[in-house]
């Protein structure tokens, strides 16, 4: 077991977020807005509010997980199980995020679900912007950019950014690993490879990762900024 993972070696809960959908059964319509991830936030999205005004009150639905988050969860789960670590996989509709900090866990989020983490990771130095793939540097060091924004290199080839964090759990000795990007299999490749783990410190930290992908294949991934905290 790599040293990075040794504090997690007893058992790990892997949690995949479930986006919030609005459902109008009579109209056979389901709607989703990256700006809305909690009940009562409908006014944040002009599109959702317009549908409510025209179609009436919708039902709430949390039936789907993001495919790339599910793939990343499977990758991390397999990595740990191959090393004898018991793994349980949940989604946020069956395991509320508030309970995650009481056990060692892994949380995967994307631009459309990152706000679900607000209570778990207050005042982190790097922030994946809601609804986009932009990572903002909230407290830049000298020479660092204020944000990291990906670029399109070819029809299926992109550079993009995400964050990897290890934060304290709610109970002493517990910790939560958080992966946040638009394509979390790329971040999972760092935490499940010896070369990738060599870029990460022990203890608690926040890191910004630059990755390049072609379709669903990760070509490279590297840490470009990091902040460490006391263990």
Contacts of 125 (CB under 8 A, 6+ apart): 137, 138, 139, 206, 227
Query: Percentage of residues in the chain with pLDDT exceeding 90?
Result: 53
* Helix (H) or strand (E) segment spanning residue 74: helix 67-81
Nearest to 180 by CA among 58, 60, 17: 17
| Residue 62 confidence class, pLDDT cut points 50, 70, 90 | confident
55 or 120: which leads in pLDDT: 55
| Strands, E assignment, the chain | 12-16, 21-24, 29-31, 59-61, 87-91, 105-109, 126-128, 135-137, 147-148, 151-154, 157-168, 175-180, 204-214, 217-229
Contact criterion met (CB below 8 Å) for 227 and 205 = yes
Residue 87 confidence (pLDDT) above 90: yes
Residue 41 confidence (pLDDT) above 80: no
Residue 223, Cα to own-chain centre: how many angstroms?
Answer: 16
**What tens digit of pLDDT does each residue of 170-221 get?**
778 889 999 999 999 999 999 999 999 999 998 999 999 999 999 999 999 9
Q: Provide the mean pLDDT of the chain.
A: 88
C-alpha distances in Å from residue 82, one per residue of 78, 86, 91, 175, 187 = 6, 10, 22, 21, 19
In angstroms, rounded to a whole number, what is the distance separating the alpha carbons of residues 35 and 17? 15
181 forms bridges with which residues in the sheet?
A: none
70 or 39: which leads in pLDDT: 70
| Residue 121 confidence class, pLDDT cut points 50, 70, 90 | low
Residue 121 phi/psi, 5-degree rounding, is -135, 60
Residue 231 confidence (pLDDT) above 70: no
Residue 230 confidence (pLDDT) above 70: no
Give pLDDT, residue 98: 61
In angstroms, rounded to a whole number, what is the distance separating the alpha carbons of residues 204 and 215? 32
By CB atoms closer than 10 A (0-12, 13-18, 19+), residue 62 is middle
């Amino acid at each position: 077991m790599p040293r990075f993972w040794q504090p997690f070696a007893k058992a790990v809960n892997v949690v995949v977020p479930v986006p919030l959908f609005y459902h109008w059964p009579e109209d056979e319509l389901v709607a989703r807005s990256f700006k809305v991830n909690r009940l009562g936030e409908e006014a944040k999205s002009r599109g959702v509010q317009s549908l409510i005004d025209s179609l009436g009150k919708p039902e709430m639905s949390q039936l789907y997980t993001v495919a790339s988050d599910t793939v990343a969860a499977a990758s991390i789960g397999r990595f740990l199980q191959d090393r004898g670590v018991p793994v349980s996989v949940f989604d946020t509709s069956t395991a509320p995020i508030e309970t995650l900090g009481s056990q060692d866990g892994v949380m995967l989020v994307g631009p459309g679900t990152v706000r679900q983490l607000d209570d778990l990771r207050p005042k982190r130095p790097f922030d994946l912007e809601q609804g986009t793939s932009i990572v903002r540097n909230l407290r830049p060091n000298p020479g660092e950019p204020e944000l990291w924004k990906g670029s399109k290199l070819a029809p299926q080839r992109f550079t993009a950014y995400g964050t990897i964090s290890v934060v304290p759990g709610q109970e002493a000795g517990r910790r939560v690993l958080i992966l946040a990007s638009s394509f979390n299999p790329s971040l999972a490749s760092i935490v499940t490879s010896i070369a990738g783990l060599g870029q990460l410190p022990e203890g608690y930290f926040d890191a910004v990762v630059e990755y390049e992908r072609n379709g669903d294949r990760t070509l490279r991934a590297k840490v470009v900024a990091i902040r460490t905290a006391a263990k």
